[in-house]
């Protein structure tokens, strides 16, 4: 027997499927064909079946069902809790880029108004400089500085939301590496399912693409870490064991991502020994 | 194919992607569409009003909309949700596009929806492009055409494009297809090649 969208065909006998568009969608999502014993669909059978009147009716009905099915699939893909987190963390990273770009430009502009100004030998953080510029400058320059400050506030609020959402969506990964870096891993992988399918070795070098390809092409040393370097466990580790910490951490992250995807709740039996193991790696000396 | 001077066009409702109109017809830009580029640099396959087409890697429905202007029906397969939203918008306004949200590498899931077609067109960014095309040849009628838009950089970024091109030609020939035409799409698209095959009887 062959199941097609409009009905089941067995030799010459055909039983049409009956129902509204939604039940047709349920049907086409549940049936599949074996490609080995595949008998291609013949639209005329749908007319013999009584499912459709003619060719135009056949195409119109099939199109309506397929559009409804695609709409439902899209809705499902976006309903995953990770879909919004992905957009949030990408927005956050882009806001950062914009703030940096505007601050640099602002400093250049300010310097033309104050030719004796230099940032050398002063420990003026960027946000303090922006504040000074806002207070001391008239017109558009001051207003741009104000906008940068405003955007920085938004950035702070967004970062908090990203962390909170990551703790909720990926509790195990976030517990090991912090919500923000966990969300960035998610963003690079493209989703929680995709992250859970990555091997530890790939997680270790996510975000170090240039170095990785340089290694592949020119046999330069392989990258030890990608964005997991942003976590204090990696960048605070003594240099000689940093690669080791990154490797152990990535191994535990790969497990954590799978727990997050398949269970969705924090698993203390895994987390406690994993934390200990990662901390231990930072204290060992490579022998 | 309809040419106005040396401009390729298609007859249909305009405004799909802000395309230019020329004498009431939609201009089909070779820099945007690989299929259009094929008609500019090579021969391709003449699209006729009775044709049924299976289109793998439909993306935003830009090229699909032009193909649909020429043929009877296009079964447009796309996997990613974001471009699918655009494709749906195009399909809602054209009676002969059937959008299918599925993975082109797994035809068993959309086999109950697709009939035998005259033309199989494939433009997917996957490493196993030849294997995907061969799997979908089950839908192609005897004497039908396969147009494979080979993205050599998706197969293997480290290999020379020419090498990937030759490997793909070999695996298509080994599977019993007859290669009719194979051209690079430069200057319109870099590192992309078009391969036109026919499916012989038996």
CATH of the domain at B103: 3.40.50.150
In a domain, B126, yes or no: yes
Q: Determine how β-strand A7-10 pairs with β-strand B192-198.
A: unpaired
CB–CB contact B109 A73 (8 Å): no
Q: Domain containing B81: what range? A: 29-198
- As beta bridge partners, residue B137 has none
DSSP state of B139: G
The pLDDT tens digits of the residues spanning B129-172 come to 999 999 999 999 999 999 999 998 889 888 889 999 999 999 99
Tell whether A87 lies on the interface with B, counting CB pairs under 8 A: no
Q: Residues near A232 by Cβ (< 8 Å), separated by ≥ 6? A: none
In a domain, B9, yes or no: no
In a domain, B23, yes or no: no
d(CA B94, CA A166): 41
In angstroms, how far is the first alpha carbon of chain A from the final one?
Answer: 65
Chain B interface residues (partner A, CB cutoff 8 A): 73, 81, 84-85, 87-88, 91-92, 95-101, 107-109, 111-116, 135, 138-139, 158
CB pairs under 8 A between A and B: 79
A139 conformational bin, left if phi > 0, alpha if psi -120 to 50, beta if neither: left
In a domain, B168, yes or no: yes
CB–CB contact A67 B88 (8 Å): yes
Residue A241 tokens, joined: 């064991």
In a domain, B24, yes or no: no
Picking from B23, B42, B135, the residue whose alpha carbon sits closest to that of residue A38 is B135
Residue B66 pLDDT greater than 70, yes or no: yes
CB atoms within 10 A of CB B113: 22
d(CA A171, CA A161): 14
Residue B44 banded pLDDT, cuts 50, 70, 90? very high
pLDDT the model gives residue B202: 63
pLDDT the model gives residue B197: 96
Along the 287 residues of chain A, how does pLDDT read in single tens digits?
Answer: 888 999 988 877 888 998 899 999 999 999 888 877 778 888 998 998 888 999 999 999 999 999 999 999 999 888 888 899 999 999 999 999 999 999 999 988 988 888 877 777 777 788 888 998 999 888 999 999 999 999 999 999 999 999 999 999 999 999 999 999 999 999 999 999 999 999 999 999 998 888 888 888 888 888 888 888 888 888 888 888 888 999 999 999 999 999 999 998 999 999 999 999 998 988 876 54
Q: Determine how β-strand B2-4 pairs with β-strand B140-151.
A: unpaired
Inter-residue contact B56 to B124 (CB < 8 Å): yes
Picking from A41, A204, A118, A230, the residue whose alpha carbon sits closest to that of residue B100 is A41
- Which residues in chain B touch residue A51, judged by CB atoms under 8 angstroms apart? none
In a domain, B46, yes or no: yes
Q: Work out how many domains chain B is built from and give that number.
A: 1
The pLDDT tens digits of the residues spanning B79-113 come to 999 999 999 999 999 999 999 999 999 999 999 99
In a domain, B15, yes or no: no
In a domain, B41, yes or no: yes
Picking from A33, A9, A25, A14, the residue whose alpha carbon sits closest to that of residue A61 is A25
d(CA B183, CA A277): 56
Q: What is the mean pLDDT of residues B117-132?
A: 94
d(CA B62, CA A146): 42
**Mean pLDDT, chain B, as a whole number?**
94
pLDDT the model gives residue B179: 96
The distance from CA A15 to its chain's CA centroid, rounded to whole angstroms, is 45
Picking from A254, A256, A260, the residue whose alpha carbon sits closest to that of residue A272 is A256
- As beta bridge partners, residue B193 has B150, B184
Q: Is the previous residue joined to A14 through a cis bond, with omega within 30 degrees of 0? A: no
Inter-residue contact A198 to A254 (CB < 8 Å): yes
Q: Which residue of A has its CA nearest to B116?
A: A40
CB–CB contact B111 A63 (8 Å): no
Picking from B112, B167, B165, B166, the residue whose alpha carbon sits closest to that of residue B138 is B112
- Which residues in chain B touch residue A216, judged by CB atoms under 8 angstroms apart? 158
Picking from A16, A5, A179, A18, the residue whose alpha carbon sits closest to that of residue A88 is A179
Within a 13 Å sphere around the CA of B59, how many CA atoms are in the beta-carbon half?
Answer: 12
């Amino acid at each position: 027997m062959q199941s097609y969208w409009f009905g089941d065909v067995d030799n010459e006998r055909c039983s049409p499927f009956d129902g509204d568009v939604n039940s047709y969608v349920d049907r086409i999502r549940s049936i599949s064909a074996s490609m080995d014993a595949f008998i291609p669909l013949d639209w005329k059978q749908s007319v013999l079946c009584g499912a459709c009147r003619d060719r135009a009716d056949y195409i119109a009905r099939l199109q309506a069902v397929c559009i409804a099915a695609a709409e439902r699939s899209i809705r499902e893909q976006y309903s995953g809790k990770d879909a919004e987190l992905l957009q949030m963390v990408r927005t956050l990273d882009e806001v950062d880029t914009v703030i940096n770009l505007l601050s640099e430009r602002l400093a250049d502009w300010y310097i033309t108004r104050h030719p004796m100004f230099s940032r050398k030998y002063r420990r003026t953080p960027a946000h303090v400089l922006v504040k000074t510029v806002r207070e001391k400058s008239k017109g558009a320059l001051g207003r741009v500085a104000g906008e940068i400050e405003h955007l920085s506030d938004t950035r702070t609020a967004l970062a908090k939301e990203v962390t909170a959402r990551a703790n909720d969506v990926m509790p195990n990964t976030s517990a090991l590496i912090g919500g923000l870096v966990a969300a960035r891993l998610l963003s690079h992988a493209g989703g929680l399912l995709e992250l859970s399918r990555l091997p530890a070795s790939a997680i270790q070098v996510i975000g170090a693409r240039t170095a990785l390809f340089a290694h592949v092409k020119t046999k330069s040393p392989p990258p030890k870490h990608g964005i997991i370097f942003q976590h204090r466990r990696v960048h605070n580790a003594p240099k000689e064991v940093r690669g080791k910490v990154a490797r152990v951490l990535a191994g535990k992250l790969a497990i954590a991502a799978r727990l997050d995807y398949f269970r969705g709740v924090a698993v203390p039996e895994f987390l406690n020994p994993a934390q200990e193991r990662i901390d231990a790696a930072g204290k060992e000396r490579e022998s | 194919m309809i040419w106005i001077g040396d401009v390729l066009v298609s007859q249909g409702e305009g405004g799909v992607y802000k395309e230019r109109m020329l004498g009431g017809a939609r201009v089909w830009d070779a820099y945007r569409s690989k299929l259009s580029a094929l008609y500019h640099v090579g021969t391709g396959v003449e699209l006729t009003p009775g044709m049924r087409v299976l289109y793998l890697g439909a993306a935003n429905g830009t090229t699909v909309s032009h193909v649909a202007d020429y043929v009877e029906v296009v079964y447009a397969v796309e996997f990613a949700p974001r471009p699918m939203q655009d494709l749906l918008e195009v399909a809602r306004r054209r009676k002969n596009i059937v959008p299918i949200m599925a993975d082109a590498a797994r035809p068993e899931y959309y086999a109950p929806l697709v009939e035998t077609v005259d033309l199989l067109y494939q433009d997917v960014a996957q490493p196993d492009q030849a294997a995907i095309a061969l799997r979908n040849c089950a839908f192609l009628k005897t004497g039908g055409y396969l147009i494979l838009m080979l993205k050599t950089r998706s197969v293997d970024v480290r290999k020379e494009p020419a090498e990937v091109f030759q490997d793909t030609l070999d695996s298509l020939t080994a599977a019993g297809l007859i290669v009719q035409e194979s051209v690079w799409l430069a200057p319109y698209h870099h590192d992309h090649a078009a391969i036109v095959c026919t499916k012989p009887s038996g």
